Amino acid sequence: MDMTISVEGLTKRFGDTLALDDLTFTVGSGRVTGFVGPNGAGKTTTMRVLLGLNSPTAGRALIGGEPYVRMTTPLRQVGALLDASATHPGRRARDHLLWMAESNGLSRSRVDVVLELVGLRPVARRRTGSFSLGMAQRLGIAAALLGDPPVLVLDEPVNGLDPDGIVWIRGFLRSLAAEGRTVFVSSHLMGELEGTADHLIVIGRGRLLADTTVDDLLSRMSAGTVTLRTPDAAEAMTVLANAGGAVSSNGAGVVTVTGLDAERVGNIAAAHGLRLSELTQDRATLEDAYLRLTRGAAEFGADR
């Protein structure tokens, strides 16, 4: 079954505020798709429309070719986490999941399975009002997994997790995608998705800024500077400049060149018998690429 998420011309207004502006993208299965953008970019609004909690002003959002609101057993098709604190504080964690399971005709045994998956089995009988934010996030993820769904829609799932929890969820999301599921994860911090996302949807002020793979984004946003360390710095500068590169040196055997990629620089060095102890292609980090891409799209920003 194709459980692709399709957002087509999605527009949403709240009074005079345009939250989503003709937004179109697709989220495929078998990979983790990061949904990123500054605070106020429209990420949560998009997810709320996708899950039928808000109606679009125009356009549509479909999961597997149909609106979420038409699904008869939604937990079996889509697992969602929008607000981890949306539990009754006096209800025990296991009872919270049992109520959800019964509402969708799921077995009671599945509750214990998901509690084990997210590491909450030892605290299953604690009341959710006593949970830390990180524990509440884990419970929300357990609820999303309850129906063993092929699609997961998670809004800021890393929020409140400790370092161990962040490492855990990165590996966990990748394992879910490796099973062929559609994994759609929002964040306003690119660093939270580093090493996790394969594909990125970047929005700002309700508009699409990028729909790309992580590798393509990094290549496009990288400065294209090559650094080499060599005892033949003077000769390296000459031959690289003659090949069309813009070169400079710190005077200590380190040469930087732009306008030539690392493979071309290495071939030139080999052809001229230059001795190299280091040759690196500088690449932007995900955080650098994100900040460059969303510059000017943040709802609030510091003066510079």
- Separation between Cα atoms, residue 85 and residue 129, nearest integer Å: 9
Condensed to tens digits (0 to 9), the pLDDT of residues 132-175 reads: 989 999 999 999 999 999 999 999 888 888 888 888 889 999 99
In the chain, alpha helices (H):
43-50, 74-77, 93-103, 108-117, 133-145, 163-178, 214-221, 233-242, 262-271, 286-294
Q: Kind of pairing, strands 254-258 and 246-249?
A: antiparallel
**Exposure of 189 by Cβ count < 10 A (0-12 exposed, 13-18 middle, 19+ buried)?**
middle
- Separation between Cα atoms, residue 204 and residue 44, nearest integer Å: 12
- Separation between Cα atoms, residue 267 and residue 115, nearest integer Å: 55
Average pLDDT across the chain, whole number: 90
Task: Name the percent of the chain lying above pLDDT 70.
Answer: 95
Q: Which domains, and CATH codes, for the chain? A: 5-212 (3.40.50.300), 223-281 (3.30.70.980)
List all residues 6 or more positions away from 90 whose beta carbon is below 8 Å from its beta carbon: 127, 129
- pTM exceeding the 0.85 threshold for the entire prediction: no
